[in-house]
Chains A and B, each alone.
Chain A
Amino acid sequence: MRYIPNSPEERQEMLRSLGLGAAEELFDSIPAEIRLSAPLKTPDALSEIELLERFETLAARNAAARRPSFLGAGAYSHYAPTIVDALIQRSEFFTAYTPYQPEISQGTLQAIFEFQTLVCQLTGMDVANASMYDGSTAMAEAVLMAERVTRRSRVLVSGAVHPEYMQVAETYVAHAGIELRRTGFDMETGRTTIDEGVGVEGGALDKSVAAVVIQSPNFFGCVEELKAWADRAHAVGALLVVVVTEAASFGLLRSPGACGADIVVAEGQSLGVPLSYGGPYVGLFATREQYARQIPGRLAGVAYDKQGRRGFVLTLATREQHIRREKATSNICTNEGLIALAATIYMTALGRRGLQEVAAQCAQKAAYARKRIAALEGFSVAHSAPVFNEFVVRAPVEAQGILRRLADEHNLTGGLALSRYFPERPNDFLVCVTETNKREEIDALVEGLKKVWSLESGV
């Protein structure tokens, strides 16, 4: 992107060559009745000093921004080394878009190729695409891909998948002739269950099922038994789609690929991408090599020219919509270029050991918080399955009220009340702990819960 200044004379010249008298005439084709006839009613201009003061006052009202937080549920607070921001702000990267003229975008293609390689290593899969919009759209695309691969139209989605991911998938398949069915989960363990008919004709998981979609760690923080789910799915010829919302968990848990997953999708926000009110994030999408032609979106590859020189290319583009029209694997013709680059830099800067350390810190701090909260009078941990860095706490009274008092009286965002998605679980709330939560913050959370409950119960 270049900065091109122009003077009033130059503007006049441009208008003259267009045969226009004023720039306003450019908008003549817009009917007069829907055009703005007077300037917008905005406050008068402020001086720079006044403006800074105004914004500082506004920012100071955002008390939650400086509050220690234990919110997770799909978006996670992790530390990103300064190098991530410094590098993505280089203008060559910052203004670039997904390569439409791949041959002149060698640097961008190489960055995408490296992103794909890292995603494969992280997920334990053979091939990854150039990225999707976010984790939820990646999951929806995995459902569509499973239908293409198996030519079956029923998909079983775990009841412990993020409820908003489920909504996105429902939107994606609403007119695709795919039936999404939600399974249950076991209230004791917090893990996915299929109530009836596994492997039985006409049952919930039979030969009409294209895929089983399991999130791990699931929405309640519980680590699922992926290997067992892979075996169950494969026994009826279905694919196992594994969804990961907390990518930091890749640093500790056995990779979904090693557990037998056929498609792995993940939200990549944890990999060096700021929370920034929910986006832009980046979706990871990886699968086995035999399904490479069914993968949605863009795919960067490496190739050699006649002289044996290495170059990067967009490959298998014949599946994409600009070539294959309505038969394309997906209507995504782009990728989250800049955010995928941020994730690439993050993963490269931390390396294998760095990612392991982040994951270990998350798990250890969460284990500490979980143990201390479970020991509190009145509170318990809702599920017994192993967790990574999130867990559900069962409060003695409605969680909403407790969380509100924690914020007001103890300046802590204690977690997410599950009643927002599960009205039948008013007392449960989800707590997330990452490497950015100091021990003092965890101790303050434990103390805060104790005090709030002792006041509520009048003890």
Chain B
Amino acid sequence: MANVPEGLYYSKDHEWLKVEGDAGTIGITDHAQSQLGDVVYVELPKAGDAFAAHAEFGSVESVKAVSPVYIPVSGEVVETNESLADAPEKVNTDPYGEGWMIRIRLTDAGEVDALLTAAEYEDFLKSETE
């Protein structure tokens, strides 16, 4: 069973969001990385790029496929995880830690309410596999 830590917000596209004030950190979930297989490349936006909620902000390339990644809430990119350029496997080994992808400044904190809690995301995963 996939690891779904408490205290994060989740999207149905399998991204997680950690909120600290108006700052957010985003990555893909343990379930997503296990479905993708070995990640070989992560394409990320540039700091300063702004995205509306659910827009594609980058892509994850595994040995099987290239998959878009979507931003769970609207925001402006403050920082990207540049270490993924040399070590994309961090997305597999530590999806909620060193495998983070972007840090953003949330432009509409209210959007967080529409995301799933850990328990809701676990239920969602179960319903998807059934």
A, B co-complexed: yes
The answer to whether B66 has its CB under 8 Å from any CB of chain A is: yes
Contact partners of A293 in chain B: CB under 8 A: 41, 43, 61
The answer to whether B1 has its CB under 8 Å from any CB of chain A is: no
Cross-interface CB contact of A323 among B41, B43, B59, B66, cutoff 8 Å? B66
Please judge, given known A-B contacts A293-B41, A293-B43, whether A318 and B64 are in contact too, CB under 8 Å.
Answer: yes
The answer to whether A324 has its CB under 8 Å from any CB of chain B is: yes
Interface string of B23-65 (1 = CB under 8 A from A): 0000000000000000001010000000000000001011111
The answer to whether A319 has its CB under 8 Å from any CB of chain B is: yes
Contact partners of A327 in chain B: CB under 8 A: 59, 66, 68
A270 to B23 CA separation, bound complex (whole angstroms): 57
Chain B nearest CB, measured from A147 CB (Å): 15
Contact partners of A318 in chain B: CB under 8 A: 61-66
Q: Say whether B65 contacts A323, CB under 8 Å.
A: yes
Measured as residues with beta carbon below 8 angstroms from the partner, the interface class of chain B is: 10 to 19
Interface string of A309-320 (1 = CB under 8 A from B): 000000000110
Contact partners of A323 in chain B: CB under 8 A: 65-66
A293 to B43 CA separation, bound complex (whole angstroms): 10
By beta carbon, the residue of chain B nearest A328 is B66
Contact partners of B66 in chain A: CB under 8 A: 318-319, 323-324, 327
A173 to B66 CA separation, bound complex (whole angstroms): 24
Contact partners of B68 in chain A: CB under 8 A: 327
Interface string of B58-79 (1 = CB under 8 A from A): 0101111110100000000000
A318 to B60 CA separation, bound complex (whole angstroms): 11
Contact partners of B43 in chain A: CB under 8 A: 293
Contact partners of B62 in chain A: CB under 8 A: 318
By beta carbon, the residue of chain A nearest B59 is A327
A319 to B63 CA separation, bound complex (whole angstroms): 11
Contact partners of B64 in chain A: CB under 8 A: 318
A47 to B59 CA separation, bound complex (whole angstroms): 65
A323 to B41 CA separation, bound complex (whole angstroms): 16
A310 to B68 CA separation, bound complex (whole angstroms): 33
| Residues 310 to 345 of chain A near chain B (Cβ within 8 Å) | 318-319, 323-324, 327
By beta carbon, the residue of chain B nearest A323 is B65
By beta carbon, the residue of chain B nearest A319 is B66
| Residues 399 to 457 of chain A near chain B (Cβ within 8 Å) | none
A293 to B41 CA separation, bound complex (whole angstroms): 9
A293 to B60 CA separation, bound complex (whole angstroms): 12
Q: Say whether B41 contacts A324, CB under 8 Å.
A: no
Contact partners of A319 in chain B: CB under 8 A: 61, 66
A323 to B66 CA separation, bound complex (whole angstroms): 8
Interface centre among A318, A319, A327 (most CB of B within 10 A): A318
A293 to B59 CA separation, bound complex (whole angstroms): 11
A149 to B68 CA separation, bound complex (whole angstroms): 16
Contact partners of B63 in chain A: CB under 8 A: 318
A319 to B68 CA separation, bound complex (whole angstroms): 12
Interface string of A185-220 (1 = CB under 8 A from B): 000000000000000000000000000000000000
Contact partners of B59 in chain A: CB under 8 A: 327
A324 to B63 CA separation, bound complex (whole angstroms): 12
- Further pairs besides A318-B62, A318-B64: 16, Cβ < 8 Å: A293-B41, A293-B43, A293-B61, A318-B61, A318-B63, A318-B65, A318-B66, A319-B61, A319-B66, A323-B65, A323-B66, A324-B65, A324-B66, A327-B59, A327-B66, A327-B68
Q: List 18 A-B contacts (CB under 8 A).
A: A293-B41, A293-B43, A293-B61, A318-B61, A318-B62, A318-B63, A318-B64, A318-B65, A318-B66, A319-B61, A319-B66, A323-B65, A323-B66, A324-B65, A324-B66, A327-B59, A327-B66, A327-B68
Closest A-B pairs by Cβ, 7 of them: A318-B66, A324-B66, A318-B61, A318-B65, A323-B65, A319-B66, A293-B41
Q: Which residues of A contact B (CB under 8 A)?
A: 293, 318-319, 323-324, 327
Q: Which residues of B contact A (CB under 8 A)?
A: 41, 43, 59, 61-66, 68
